[in-house]
Chains A and B, each alone.
Chain A
Amino acid sequence: MNKLNYTPKDFKSNQALRWCPGCGDYALINSLQKAMAELAVPPHQTVVVSGIGCSSRLPYYIETYGMHTIHGRAAAIATGVKVGNPKLSVWQISGDGDALAIGGNHFIHAIRRNVDLNMILLNNRVYGLTKGQYSPTSPRGYISVSSPFGTVEDPFRPAELVFGARGNFFARCVDVDSAPSVEVLCAAAQHKGAAVVEVLQNCVIFNDGSQKLVSTKEGRANHALYLKQGEPMRFGPNLEFGIIQDGFNIKPAKIGENNITPDDVLIHDAYNPDNTLQLKLAMLDGTNGPIALGVIRAVEAPTYDAAIHQQIADQKTGKPKSLNDIMLENEVWEVK
């Protein structure tokens, strides 16, 4: 029997959590279990697939079907699960190394194909499980055990990669910021197609403070721009700032100064198929304005798994065929 009402506890497995004390994974798994309860997809219809890394241990702690797989391949394996049985709700859990370094190819192709996956990208900008090497999202100059004099390479900015792969859903939340995280995870699950949620995550051991602008309530009050579809993009402790258009660009501005009125503030439109302004929004990083949180882009598009099964259904119309019928379509002859 499928229950109609689930609680987060229904999605907790009997395994003890084994992340470092203070790890953002604790907060995120709570938000995820809350989201799963809210979504009310039965646990036996849900599959959680992960790769390798700290956050990839997550499936063991969730009482659904789960696969903890190999480094980088979660998106490919999740694609097989979803295409193999599109009725399942499929979540993919990957860190920044898993999804963007060793698994970069699978990540972009799952997005390009628009497989109906809920892809959680836990971005703490460092390799935790191998003890602190820089990751493909570490900023240039980042000092780590494998870059003692600082990195000499630029990082990926996940949204750019997602949009470059023609992604139709991109959202962002902060690990410890529970209620908005639950909201964003639910939106990702309800979106049909590849839905990427970038979780800004702290690593207390190897990269503490990596998300310091938004890791505290005060920080978020000053630096977070919580997006709401159809509403003006305002932020600040008293919502005194807004995002306005500036020629070919967008920029933050104080309302009431320099003749800026509330009507000048741009209205958020995640549903707009043109991703130009959505990308600009996603590129705000705290130094050039606030950090945008919430659903940045959510555009409907045909999903790969549904299209594959539709093609099969279309080809099956008419008289059902057997393997024997197919074999007889070759040049055959009979010996009597």
Chain B
Amino acid sequence: MDTANNILNIDNLVICFAGDSGDGMQLAGNLFSNASAIMGNDIATFPDYPSEIRAPQGTLGGVSGFQVHLGSSKVYTSGDSCDVLVAMNPAALKVNTGRINSRTVIIIDNDSFTARDLAKAQFKTENAFEELNLKNQVVEIPITSMCVESLKALDLDQKSALRSKNMMALGLVCWLFNKPLEIIEQLISRKFKNKSELIIESNIKVLRDGYNFGYNTHASITRYSIEPLTTLEKGVYMDINGNKATSYGLVAAAQKANLTLYLGTYPITPATDILHNLAKLKNLGVITVQCEDEIAGCASALGASFAGCLAVTTTSGPGLCLKSEAINLAIMTELPLVVIDVQRGGPSTGLPTKSEQTDLLQALYGRNGESPIVVIAASSSANCFDAAYWASKIALEHMTPVILLTDAFVANGASVWKLPNLEDYPNINPPKVKGERPENWSPYLRDSQSLVRPWAIPGNEGYMHRVGGLEKDYVTGDISSNPKNHERMVATRKAKIEHIASCIPKLEVEGDQKAKTLLVGWGSTYGHLLEAMNLLAQEDCPLALAHFEFINPFPINTEAVLRGYDKIIIVEQNSGQLALVLNGTYKGLNTFAYNRVDGQPLNTQELVSNIKSIMEDKR
């Protein structure tokens, strides 16, 4: 039967694969989004997984989900709710109720909806849908038994065979959304190339059987197709998550600065993938040291910085607490250091795998004494590359630690990215000493404009000097506890960071030029804010958007931008941390706030309705 006539073109699609931690939902989601991107769709993904590696099977705590938003035009977020939910068990259905809207099509593995499975997911009745008050279209498919049946001919035990369940679901979804299997099959072959041929064969077999099941049994239902994006510039593309983009940005900066990249770190969710990525790049000369703790990660990086490397330490909130003393030593010794905080839910251990923007004030102020530091935030997964590059450039050229804030949402989520041409990136020129030591040279002899001190790296003859955490004399750099000198040094360290405002890009304003209301955000919420602004423009609610990537110092035109609006709406995934800083820095702004601290990405529809009611507010 020719099914081509039943294919409907749609502009975009949100699909969520959800199941047990061991069900391979992350892999299925990744393969689908990767293949879609290769076939020309724009994508934004949101992996949402528990902090337990394998929570008890079938329980609510063990549900792992992967949401992807595909578009034939640019997509900015991973989507509020999904058009299709694949729920491999009742727990996956229950946990993802919030992603279901009235039009969501739910595909379930009805082999996993037995009374026992329902009980594990704490359902009280035998009808999960009724209990959750869902009236959606449900496609029930015996995924588990079909998977076992599919692999009968192969020499596999039941447990191994069941590992391919995710491929059955993926094959079916590929059929439903008109994705040919060739690319996914190639991806599977590459993914398992170091495992056995049998694993590759079994996964591909089940994938094809899933596809064919759709083809044979549901041939008459409507299928969908998302046309490729036509607006992409020429170039080579990949889909990239934030941690990988961060890793590449650091390598690019080290190459541009002609320095060795040194990472001193300690594993912590959700930052660890940066270590994994960089540990592989020995062939590019990257040094990675997995230290005994977070403190040593930062401290050893500072030692490597003194020795002349581009030094980096990576962490998440709890680790940033531990590193703060060593960061302060970097501030005092004025040595370059890049500190990457992939934010997660806090406080304390908090929500290790969830995303928040709650470390901003900690990054800005969480150290003893007056300790000004540069703070940068990445606005998307792909933007992590540029953000890491800029963080390195500023650290090296201004002899200062820089904290780069990303978060679990951009770190794990992926977007389509055009491979950069490094020649397009600005040079990085650290203030290294050259030639013979001039008479009266001192390690704290500053550039009169930038106030940057010279970098005399051990090995340079004649430039021997000592640095340390004690206050030092403004001229000689020797220890000094003179009160006037201390005051001068405090002011100098502050002025040095403030000067950086004139070396970074200006704050850009997007949206309606005649708008009276300005939407303000920072970091990973950029996509949601842009989407919300665009939706509101269609409803005749004119808005402008200023999104901060540089937070300390603020870009030089910040005050001028903010004072140009009657009303400023500051959106954050915290209780108002940037709002506190903006209101403290620029008095008399008419600011409103929209805050969410639930560990989940923003919801665009909620954002739109909240912005609307703030706009209607007469204040």
Chain A positions near chain B (C-beta within 8 angstroms): 1-2, 13, 15, 42-47, 49, 52, 59-60, 63-70, 73, 76-85, 87-88, 105-106, 109, 308, 311-312, 314-316, 321-324, 326-328, 330-336
**Residue among B236, B255, B292, B306 making CB contact with A106, cutoff 8 Å:** B292
Cβ of B239 to closest chain A Cβ, rounded Å? 8
A2 and B461 CA atoms in complex are apart in Å by 8
Identify the closest chain A residue to B468 (Cβ): A68
Which of A59, A109, A314, A330 has the most chain B CB within a 10 Å cutoff? Answer: A330
B351, CB-defined interface residue at 8 Å: no
**Residue among A46, A85, A323, A328 making CB contact with B307, cutoff 8 Å:** A85
Instruction: Given the known inter-chain contacts A68-B469, A84-B309, A105-B292, please indicate yes or no for A316 contacting B285, CB distance below 8 A.
Output: yes
Quick check: A69 and B329 within 8 Å, CB to CB? yes
B608, CB-defined interface residue at 8 Å: no
A66 and B292 CA atoms in complex are apart in Å by 24
Q: Which of B66-74, B143-151, B155-163, B294-302 lies at the interface?
A: B294-302
The count of chain B contact residues (Cβ–Cβ below 8 Å) is: 68
CB-CB < 8 A to B462: which residues of A? Answer: 44
Quick check: B307 and A81 within 8 Å, CB to CB? yes
B504, CB-defined interface residue at 8 Å: no
Residue interface mask B10-41, A partner, CB < 8 A = 1:
00000000000000000000000010011010
B164, CB-defined interface residue at 8 Å: no
Quick check: B419 and A332 within 8 Å, CB to CB? yes
Cβ of B309 to closest chain A Cβ, rounded Å? 4
CB-CB < 8 A to A321: which residues of B? Answer: 283-284
Quick check: A88 and B459 within 8 Å, CB to CB? yes
CB-CB < 8 A to A82: which residues of B? Answer: 303, 307
Instruction: Given the known inter-chain contacts A67-B468, A83-B304, please indicate yes or no for A315 contacting B283, CB distance below 8 A.
Output: yes
CB-CB < 8 A to A331: which residues of B? Answer: 34, 38, 187, 190, 238-239
CB-CB < 8 A to B466: which residues of A? Answer: 13, 59-60, 65-68
A326 and B255 CA atoms in complex are apart in Å by 13
Cβ of A25 to closest chain B Cβ, rounded Å? 16
A208 and B465 CA atoms in complex are apart in Å by 34
16 extra interface residue pairs, beta carbon distance < 8 Å, beyond A44-B463, A85-B459? A44-B461, A44-B462, A59-B468, A65-B466, A69-B469, A80-B264, A83-B304, A88-B459, A106-B292, A308-B289, A311-B282, A331-B38, A331-B190, A333-B237, A333-B238, A335-B233
CB-CB < 8 A to B333: which residues of A? Answer: 67
B321, CB-defined interface residue at 8 Å: no
Pull 7 A–B residue pairs with CB atoms less than 8 Å apart, ordered by A: A44-B460, A64-B464, A68-B468, A69-B468, A80-B302, A81-B458, A321-B283
Instruction: Given the known inter-chain contacts A47-B306, A324-B419, A331-B187, please indicate yes or no for A87 contacting B459, CB distance below 8 A.
Output: yes
CB-CB < 8 A to B306: which residues of A? Answer: 47, 65, 67, 77, 80-81, 84
A66 and B478 CA atoms in complex are apart in Å by 12
B108, CB-defined interface residue at 8 Å: no
A59 and B306 CA atoms in complex are apart in Å by 14
Quick check: A326 and B281 within 8 Å, CB to CB? yes
CB-CB < 8 A to B435: which residues of A? Answer: none
Instruction: Given the known inter-chain contacts A65-B465, A312-B285, please indicate yes or no for A323 contacting B251, CB distance below 8 A.
Output: yes
Q: Which 9 A-B pairs have the closest CB atoms?
A: A80-B303, A68-B468, A84-B304, A80-B300, A84-B307, A76-B299, A76-B296, A315-B282, A77-B303
A83 and B302 CA atoms in complex are apart in Å by 12
A324 and B284 CA atoms in complex are apart in Å by 11
A44 and B311 CA atoms in complex are apart in Å by 21
Cβ of A116 to closest chain B Cβ, rounded Å? 13
A292 and B305 CA atoms in complex are apart in Å by 39
Identify the closest chain A residue to B259 (Cβ): A84
CB-CB < 8 A to A322: which residues of B? Answer: 255, 284
A249 and B287 CA atoms in complex are apart in Å by 45
Instruction: Given the known inter-chain contacts A80-B262, A88-B459, please indicate yes or no for A65 contacting B235, CB distance below 8 A.
Output: no
Quick check: A77 and B252 within 8 Å, CB to CB? no
B411, CB-defined interface residue at 8 Å: no
CB-CB < 8 A to A335: which residues of B? Answer: 40, 232-237
Which of B281, B303, B419, B479 has the most chain A CB within a 10 Å cutoff? Answer: B303
CB-CB < 8 A to A65: which residues of B? Answer: 306, 458, 464-466
CB-CB < 8 A to B296: which residues of A? Answer: 73, 76, 79, 105-106, 109
Quick check: A84 and B308 within 8 Å, CB to CB? yes
B7, CB-defined interface residue at 8 Å: no
Quick check: A70 and B326 within 8 Å, CB to CB? yes
Instruction: Given the known inter-chain contacts A80-B262, A106-B296, A312-B287, please indicate yes or no for A323 contacting B304, CB distance below 8 A.
Output: no
Which of B37, B305, B459 has the most chain A CB within a 10 Å cutoff? Answer: B459
A151 and B255 CA atoms in complex are apart in Å by 55
Cβ of B453 to closest chain A Cβ, rounded Å? 15
Identify the closest chain B residue to A312 (Cβ): B282
A334 and B416 CA atoms in complex are apart in Å by 12
A299 and B312 CA atoms in complex are apart in Å by 33
B293, CB-defined interface residue at 8 Å: yes
B216-275 CB contacts (< 8 Å) to partner A: 232-240, 248, 251-252, 255, 260, 262, 264
Cβ of A274 to closest chain B Cβ, rounded Å? 27
Instruction: Given the known inter-chain contacts A60-B479, A70-B329, please indicate yes or no for A83 contacting B262, CB distance below 8 A.
Output: yes
A185 and B177 CA atoms in complex are apart in Å by 72
Quick check: B458 and A332 within 8 Å, CB to CB? no
Identify the closest chain B residue to A89 (Cβ): B458
A70 and B367 CA atoms in complex are apart in Å by 14
Quick check: A333 and B303 within 8 Å, CB to CB? no
CB-CB < 8 A to A77: which residues of B? Answer: 299-300, 302-303, 306
Cβ of B588 to closest chain A Cβ, rounded Å? 41
A308 and B288 CA atoms in complex are apart in Å by 9
Residue interface mask B461-482, A partner, CB < 8 A = 1:
1111111111000000011000
CB-CB < 8 A to A2: which residues of B? Answer: 461
Identify the closest chain B residue to A44 (Cβ): B461
**Residue among B187, B190, B252, B461 making CB contact with A323, cutoff 8 Å:** B252
B422, CB-defined interface residue at 8 Å: yes
A334 and B39 CA atoms in complex are apart in Å by 10
B389-422 CB contacts (< 8 Å) to partner A: 419, 422
B531, CB-defined interface residue at 8 Å: no
Instruction: Given the known inter-chain contacts A59-B468, A68-B468, A69-B299, please indicate yes or no for A332 contacting B309, CB distance below 8 A.
Output: no
CB-CB < 8 A to A85: which residues of B? Answer: 307-309, 458-459
B291, CB-defined interface residue at 8 Å: yes
Residue interface mask B30-59, A partner, CB < 8 A = 1:
000010011010000000000000000000
CB-CB < 8 A to A64: which residues of B? Answer: 464
A81 and B301 CA atoms in complex are apart in Å by 8
Identify the closest chain B residue to A47 (Cβ): B458
Quick check: A88 and B458 within 8 Å, CB to CB? yes
CB-CB < 8 A to A15: which residues of B? Answer: 478-479
